[in-house]
Amino acid sequence: MTSASEGVLVLAGTPIGDPGDAPPRLAEELAAADVVAAEDTRRLRRLTQTLGVEPTGRVVSYFEGNEAARTGELADALAGGARVLLVTDAGMPSVSDPGYRLVAAAVERGIRVTAVPGPSAVLTALAVSGLPVDRFCFEGFLPRKPGERLARLREAAAERRTLVYFEAPHRIAATLEAMAEAFGAERPAAVCRELTKTYEEVRRGPLEELARWAADGVRGEITVVVAGAPAPGPQDLGPAELVERVAVREAAGERRKEAIAAVAAEAGLPKREVFDAVVAAKHQTA
């Protein structure tokens, strides 16, 4: 092992499907690590055979069932100067996978944390979805219970950014139905299945249509991308209501200029139209 001051945690991305997508540095890190913490040691063995590399360090399991207990052990190894490599079954560690606890523990101890960037189902699905990607948020897996799932979706119904979810194949039909109920049947979405694998499929369309398609059963690893809520259209507000909204904001302490701009944005109207309504009302009361 290296000196205590050189302990480092390396988060390494692994292929989400095609083994050829493994980053070149992954093999180097697997060979150099003092400890390799893997979500599934059997999958790690298959990956190392494909890459033609043999880890020289200790290989331990690090998955949801033992993550809490093993984090302290790995953090101690890092504090002792070990180079610890963390890999999951697919994609980047800590993104809906084990890793967050160990990263937090390493940061708390002042240990260096770095990464070997690699494949990501989130970014891959966004890129091929055909939906806006300039702003997005990742929601991970939804709750398994129908009521909790629908409640979570309703919380995100007004979100303007593109939404990304992971889902299990046996729940995807029910999830798409819940999305159609919470977001609206016509909300555009894309179901990305088996990304980068032999049977890769990207199904695009309104949520209601995708729910009907999934009702017959869907297999494989699934990422769902949903368009954000549409921008509100112009509201049909009369001059009197515009003036009233400006007055409310002014009473709350806003300057008239800012109040007019805010009301115009809320109503989807030009600021000049709201300004003219305020001026006209002032003349009427003069």
* pLDDT for the residue 246: 93
Q: pLDDT per residue over 209-223, tens digit each?
A: 999 999 999 999 999
Clarify whether residues 214 and 255 are in a common domain.
no
Average pLDDT, integer, range 65-72: 92
Q: In this structure, are residues 9 and 86 in contact, taking their beta carbons and an 8 Å threshold?
A: yes
Distance spanning both ends of the chain, measured CA to CA: 84
pLDDT cut 90: percent of the chain above it:
83
* pLDDT for the residue 3: 42
Band of the pLDDT at 232, cuts 50, 70, 90?
low
How many domains, the chain? 3
* pLDDT for the residue 285: 75
Clarify whether residues 255 and 161 are in a common domain.
no
Q: In this structure, are residues 131 and 227 in contact, taking their beta carbons and an 8 Å threshold?
A: yes
Clarify whether residues 164 and 215 are in a common domain.
yes
Residue 234 lies in a domain: no
Which residue, chain included where needed, has tokens 């400006």? 246
More confident residue, 282 or 199: 199
Count of alpha carbons within 13 Å of 104, Cβ hemisphere only? 8
More confident residue, 281 or 145: 145
Instruction: List the domain range (segments joined by +) for residue 146.
Output: 122-226
Residue 268 lies in a domain: yes
Distance CA 180, CA 107 (A): 41
* pLDDT for the residue 267: 83
More confident residue, 41 or 236: 41
Band of the pLDDT at 286, cuts 50, 70, 90?
low
Q: Which residues contact 108 (CB under 8 A, 6 or more apart)?
A: none
Query: What CATH number corresponds to the domain at position 21?
Result: 3.40.1010.10
Q: pLDDT per residue over 33-54, tens digit each?
A: 999 999 999 999 999 999 999 9
Tell me the pLDDT of the chain averaged across its residues: 92
Of the residues 90, 119, 148, which one is the last residue of a structural domain?
119
Query: What CATH number corresponds to the domain at position 204?
Result: 3.30.950.10
pLDDT cut 70: percent of the chain above it:
97
Residue 4 pLDDT exceeds 60: no
Average pLDDT, integer, range 142-154: 95
Residue type, 221: E
β-partners of residue 237 are none
Clarify whether residues 141 and 194 are in a common domain.
yes
Residue 190 pLDDT exceeds 70: yes
Band of the pLDDT at 233, cuts 50, 70, 90?
low
More confident residue, 283 or 197: 197
Of the residues 97, 119, 141, which one is the last residue of a structural domain?
119
**Residue 224 phi, psi (nearest 5):** -110, 130
Residue 167 pLDDT exceeds 90: yes
Clarify whether residues 177 and 86 are in a common domain.
no
Residue 8 pLDDT exceeds 60: yes
Average pLDDT, integer, range 160-184: 96
Residue 262 pLDDT exceeds 90: no
Residue type, 223: T
Rounded to whole angstroms, what are the CA distances from 114 to 9, 11, 48, 93, 110?
A: 6, 6, 21, 12, 13
* pLDDT for the residue 5: 59
Question: Which of 25-29, 177-181, 282-286 shows the lowest mean pLDDT across its residues?
Answer: 282-286
Residue 25 lies in a domain: yes
